[in-house]
Structure 1
């Protein structure tokens, strides 16, 4: 399975199973986890140092 996204780029997932439905289900689950992690990394807020100093004061 190959997925192309704007933010995460291209993700290629391969899975082997005794039938195609199981292989597809496993691939979809793995693709969901990979894309979720990738998007979470991109969306992490950047902390401002001045805001941290204001909280500590």
Structure 2
């Protein structure tokens, strides 16, 4: 894939928390700890804008 990448300070922690709640067992205290740290400290959201996508078969 070729293209540009944008870094955003806003929205990353909320997105990470939603994904954690969807894919992780949030009854696990370690998972809760990660999610809570993300919400407090923040997470950088990386947005990829693909311009060229190459597909290769194996």
| TM-score above 0.5, yes or no | no
Larger radius of gyration: 1
More helix by share: 1
**Which structure carries more strand by proportion?**
2
Q: TM-score, normalised by structure 1?
A: 0.31
